[in-house]
Amino acid sequence: MDSIAREKIGAHKRGKTYEEMYGVKRAKEIKEKIRLKNKGNACKYVHSPQTRVKMSLAQKKRDKSTRFKIPATLEIIKKREAKKKKNWENLTIEEKHRKLKNFIGAGSKRKVRTSIEERVNLVLKSFGMIEGKNYLRNIQIGGFNVDFLIDDRFIIDCYGDYWHKNPKYFNDTSAEIKRQKDLERRVYLENKGYSFIYFWGEDINNNVEVVIDSIIRYLGQYYNIFEWEACCGYQNV
């Protein structure tokens, strides 16, 4: 059947509903068949002739250079980044943590320990503490990873001089921003009921005796338990 003959056959049906062409009962049966045929396959949806005309006209008016992708001009990129930043700043800490869940979780599973973390770990072991029993390493609390968690209440963090921007060496704007974020992190953890202390990498490497004294004072009565056990021969029992 050629296109002209097909056009003549369908001409009398144009602009009419199924009910007008086949009656209410038959129209209902036809619609049900179409629904079942297209169920679970959105690609088989057919737009009405009026909608197809509108879509065709809209495509003709559209600039062909933007048909597949909007050009990422510098102005568009700046607006996009500003919008992302604003949306991010409006989120609560808990909402940020949910969005960064996978990233944060990956940090707690890392196997490589920094040299300053290993030195602090040796200090804790010298007190008679046992990893996995008295303290845990690289633990996720809320949306933050902490280096050491002792007795489920004492946090010890090891701040790399470069990564955490030791003020002795870094004082530019980016360094101030990083230290402010670390402060916000500390406040968050303390508000959750944890005690918090941190040491700079330089001090861990060059002044470990000072670090040891600070940890002893920080742990207070909890450290005294291990000192007593060591004296009485109950260490690691």
Host domain of residue 124:
112-232
Same domain, 46 and 79: no
Regions of the chain short of the pLDDT cut 50: 1-2, 4-9, 234-237
**25 domain-assigned:** yes
CA dihedral 113, 117, 121, 123 (to 10 degrees): 150
**66 domain-assigned:** no
Phi-psi map region of 142: left, alpha, beta (phi>0 left; psi -120 to 50 alpha): left
Structurally, how many domains does the chain consist of?
A: 3
Could you tell me which residues come within 8 angstroms of residue 130 by beta carbon, excluding any fewer than 6 positions away? 236
Residue (of 188, 199, 138) closest to 166 by Cα position: 199
* Element holding 232 (H helix, E strand): helix 221-232
For 64, phi then psi, to 5°, come to -60, -30
Same domain, 121 and 80: no
- In the beta sheet, which residues pair with residue 150? 135, 154
Residue (of 166, 154, 157) closest to 193 by Cα position: 154
Residues in the chain: 237
**237 domain-assigned:** no
Same domain, 136 and 185: yes
